Amino acid sequence: MSTPLIDVRVDGYSPHFVHAADRIWTETNCYVDLWVEVLHALGHDPVPAAACAFSTRFDGAQWTFLKFRPEDLLSLYGIDVAEMNVWRRPVEHIQDNTDAGLLSTVEVDAFWLPDTAGTGYRESRSKTTIVPNLLDRDAEILEYFHNSGYHVLSGEDFRGVFGLDLPVPTWPPYLEQVRLDAALPQCDAFDILVLRHLRMRARSNPVRELGVRVLADVERIRSGGMDVFHPWTFGVLRQCGATAELAADVSLYMDGHGYPGAGGAAEGFRAVAEGAKSVQFRMARAARGRSVDPGDQLAAMADAWGDAMGTVVRAAGVR
What's the pLDDT tens digit per position in 253-276?
999 999 999 999 999 999 999 999
Give the Å distances, CA to CA, from 127 to 43, 44, 200.
28, 27, 29
Give mean pLDDT, residues 167-191: 92
Whether residue 202 sits in one domain with residue 91: no
Please indicate, yes or no, if residue 52 is contained in any of the structural domains: no
Q: How far apart are CA 209 and CA 40, in angstroms?
A: 34
Q: Is the pLDDT of residue 168 over 80?
A: no
Range of the structural domain that residue 135 is part of = 17-43+80-179
Q: Is the pLDDT of residue 189 over 90?
A: yes
What domain count does the chain have?
Answer: 2
Give mean pLDDT, residues 171-192: 95
Question: Which residues, including other chains, have CB under 8 Å from residue 303's CB and lie 6 or more apart?
Answer: none
pLDDT per residue as tens digits for the range 200-211: 999 999 999 999
Whether residue 90 sits in one domain with residue 232: no
Name the percent of the chain lying above pLDDT 70. Answer: 100
Whether residue 297 sits in one domain with residue 202: yes
Whether residue 237 sits in one domain with residue 125: no
Whether residue 209 sits in one domain with residue 119: no
Count Cβ atoms below 10 Å from residue 282 Cβ, excluding itself: 17
Whether residue 152 sits in one domain with residue 266: no
Question: Which residues, including other chains, have CB under 8 Å from residue 45's CB and lie 6 or more apart?
Answer: 39, 253
Domain finish residue from 179, 207, 231: 179
Q: Which residues of 95-116 are buried (b: 16+ CB within 10 A; e: fewer)?
A: bebbeeebbbbbbbbbbbbebb
At 44, which amino acid appears? Answer: H
Please indicate, yes or no, if residue 255 is contained in any of the structural domains: yes
Report yes or no: 206 and 57 within 8 Å, Cβ to Cβ: yes
Report yes or no: 311 and 213 within 8 Å, Cβ to Cβ: no
Please indicate, yes or no, if residue 8 is contained in any of the structural domains: no
Task: Report CA torsion sign: 173, 175, 116, 243.
Answer: negative
Whether residue 262 sits in one domain with residue 139: no
Domain finish residue from 152, 179, 206: 179
Whether residue 99 sits in one domain with residue 39: yes
Q: Is the pLDDT of residue 182 over 70?
A: yes
φ/ψ of residue 75, rounded to 5: -75, -35
Nearest to 50 by CA among 30, 25, 33: 33
Please indicate, yes or no, if residue 86 is contained in any of the structural domains: yes
Please indicate, yes or no, if residue 48 is contained in any of the structural domains: no
**pTM of structure:** 0.95
Q: How far apart are CA 158 and CA 238, in angstroms?
A: 30
pLDDT per residue as tens digits for the range 277-316: 999 999 999 999 999 999 999 999 999 999 999 999 999 9
φ/ψ of residue 34, rounded to 5: -70, -35
Q: How far apart are CA 19 and CA 146, in angstroms?
A: 12
pLDDT per residue as tens digits for the range 49-105: 999 999 999 999 999 999 999 999 999 999 999 999 999 999 999 999 999 999 999
Whether residue 109 sits in one domain with residue 195: no
DSSP letters, 186-221, are PTTHHHHHHHHHHHTS-SS-HHHHHHHHHHHTHHHH
β-sheet bridge partners, residue 134: 143
Whether residue 228 sits in one domain with residue 128: no
Please indicate, yes or no, if residue 69 is contained in any of the structural domains: no
**Mean per-residue pLDDT of the chain:** 96
Please indicate, yes or no, if residue 144 is contained in any of the structural domains: yes
Please indicate, yes or no, if residue 2 is contained in any of the structural domains: no
Domain finish residue from 146, 179, 212: 179
Whether residue 125 sits in one domain with residue 257: no
Whether residue 26 sits in one domain with residue 174: yes
What pLDDT shows up at residue 167? 82
Report yes or no: 243 and 308 within 8 Å, Cβ to Cβ: no
pLDDT per residue as tens digits for the range 131-142: 999 999 999 999
Q: Is the pLDDT of residue 1 over 60?
A: no
